[in-house]
Amino acid sequence: MKKLALLTLLLYCCSAKAQSSYTPTPDNLAAREHFQDMKFGLFIHWGIYSELGAGEWVMHDKQIPYNNYKRLADFFYPQAFDAKAWVQFAKRAGMKYITITSRHHDGFSMFGTKASPYNVVDATPWHRDPMMELAQECQKEGIELHFYYSLLDWGRPDYAFGSPIVNGEPVNGNWPSYINFMKSQLTELISNYPGVKGIWFDGYWERTNANWHLDEIYGLIHKLNSSVLIGNNHHEAVKPGEDFQMFEKDLPGGNTTGFSGKSQISQLPLETCETINNSWGFNINDRSYKTVKQIIQYLVNAAGNNANFLLNVGPMPNGKIQPEFADTLAVVGNWMQKNGESIYGTRGGLIPPQQWGVITYKPHVLYAHVLKTPRQPYIFIPSVEGKVSKAVLLADGSKLKIKQQPEGVFVYTDGLTLDPVDTIIELTTD
């Protein structure tokens, strides 16, 4: 017995060591830089739940028994699905990557997996693999693909949703079987789908007292492809083995949703995700569409806080994206075409957000994004390194009056007609 306890302790120590000794490879570090440069991504929640038009939590919310819910697979036939159209939709909006639900909490795999027959290829009359079609199209079009993957599963007996957790495992389930199942699926997602660059975990928060074997899972992913970026929406501080940190429906540091109370901002690349209306999965009743101004300002604020912006749409069960979303995002795309240089490839967090807006920067260039009318007839940018040799409006190149002092730069905004969405001031330094 004593021997067993010692062995368990030893195994625990070794696995803890394996986690904490994670050193990202040079190609992983390069992938992180590239990730930060992309700035704007499309989040897609799409599954058999879309058929009910009540969001991705419909099974849980409406207490649909699993065996009844499973019938949705029999009618899943998205006749209008076109990977090309989705990728063009993202490109048109100025987005550089797509993160899509390969499997959500309902446990239905939206990819052709050998690990369970409950998947889009084997269990629907459609028999197609939208993740493969999307991966191939993304590769062709230079759009990066990340897979959302739910750790939580409402239906599998080995997960045993609702079971008490004792010693890190659900007493009514078969935890080793569930962990192995996830490992098999993740191996498929990384090995079979071309060009996958990230895994976006979710659902950890459902049982924070379970032993998720993250060391093994993260280790496996990085062993299969060391440059794949791992993020986990556990709503806690980042854990060893993770490559980026996400915030849900809040900018880094914010906590209006109550999700981010325990997630201190890390040194990893940051991402914030938000919905285009109020839903992740298709919701036929949700007409709270965000405006072009709200979306652009969210993106700019995210960039100013050094975070990417991952904006979600929930396509309809026929595979089409609502026209309202396309119309809004086409205007956002036009804005990005004109102003993208102040967003793509920049970094933020140089100074905290100000009353008037935020700053993004690249070597020798600062962009002040004036999102609200300044309280003073000027904006003040502290700690500017180097001498400012040029201060202009990005929109038309017109020169602006400035005063540089050791403590910072004053840019005079009186007399300027401010853009109600974002007035971008470009400062070039020596």
Residue 101 or 413 having the CB closest to ligand FHN:
101
Name the DSSP class of 51: G
* Least gap, CB of 54 to ligand FHN (angstroms): 12
Residue 348 tokens, joined: 């933020």
* Least gap, CB of 5 to ligand FHN (angstroms): 36
Q: What are phi and psi of 388, to 5 degrees?
A: -75, 120
- Give burial (CB, 10 Å; 0-12/13-18/19+) of 221: buried
* Least gap, CB of 266 to ligand FHN (angstroms): 18
* Least gap, CB of 238 to ligand FHN (angstroms): 16
What is the residue type of 6? L
Name the DSSP class of 370: E
Asked if 196 and 146 touch (Cβ cutoff 8 Å), the reply is yes
Residue 248 or 422 having the CB closest to ligand FHN:
248
Taking only Cα atoms into account, the Rg of the chain, rounded to an integer number of angstroms, comes to 23
Residue 22 or 66 having the CB closest to ligand FHN:
66
Residue 198 or 374 having the CB closest to ligand FHN:
198
Residue 124 or 263 having the CB closest to ligand FHN:
263
Rounded to 10°, the helix 175-192/214-224 angle is 20
* Least gap, CB of 29 to ligand FHN (angstroms): 26
Asked if 325 and 276 touch (Cβ cutoff 8 Å), the reply is yes
Residue 423 tokens, joined: 């007035």
* Least gap, CB of 225 to ligand FHN (angstroms): 24
Residue 340 tokens, joined: 């993208």
| Closest listed residue to residue 76, CA positions, set 323, 316, 270, 268 | 316
Residue 45 or 96 having the CB closest to ligand FHN:
45
Contacts to ligand FHN by CB under 6 A: 56-57, 202, 233, 248, 273, 280
Residue 316 or 409 having the CB closest to ligand FHN:
316
What is the residue type of 245? Q
How far apart CA 15 and CA 4 sit, in angstroms, is 16
- Give, in order, the Cα–Cα distances in Å from 75 to each of 47, 60, 119, 342: 12, 20, 13, 46
Asked if 409 and 403 touch (Cβ cutoff 8 Å), the reply is yes
* Least gap, CB of 45 to ligand FHN (angstroms): 6
* Least gap, CB of 280 to ligand FHN (angstroms): 4
* Least gap, CB of 25 to ligand FHN (angstroms): 28
Residue 55 or 112 having the CB closest to ligand FHN:
55
CA 176 remoteness from chain centre: 28
Question: In DSSP terms, which residues pair with 236 in a beta bridge?
Answer: 262
Residue 149 or 356 having the CB closest to ligand FHN:
149
CB atoms within 10 A of CB 328: 21
Residue 305 or 354 having the CB closest to ligand FHN:
305
Strand order in the sheet with 402-405: 378-382, 408-412, 402-405
* Least gap, CB of 56 to ligand FHN (angstroms): 5
| Closest listed residue to residue 276, CA positions, set 324, 317, 231 | 324
